[in-house]
Amino acid sequence: MTAYELLAQHIADLQALLQANRDLLTGARGGAEEPVSDPCLSTCRHQRLLRKTLLETIQELEASRKAFKSKQLEALRKKLTAILAEIA
């Protein structure tokens, strides 16, 4: 990725984050009290990469669980699934 492409991506990410924050502020002004998620968690490239990697890891652990009957791998799979559900 060139410096220009990276800068363009960062600007697009910032614009999306600003819009998400505007929407959040509008909801707060309107008295909205329902739970909200952090806008950065859904738009941040690093967060999307983490989510994708966690999902792939969980899928691989699930696919291999019959071949490797390990309590430790099962616990790891469940822990990763819980983390993924928390950040999703």
The pLDDT of residue 41 is above 60 = no
Confidence tier at 88 by pLDDT (50, 70, 90): low
Is 43 in contact with 7 (CB distance < 8 Å)? no
pTM of the model: 0.48
Spell out the residues 6+ positions from residue 25 whose beta carbon is closer than 8 angstroms to its own. none
| Token couple for 58 | 């969980």
Whether residue 35 is predicted with pLDDT greater than 70 in this model: the reply is: no
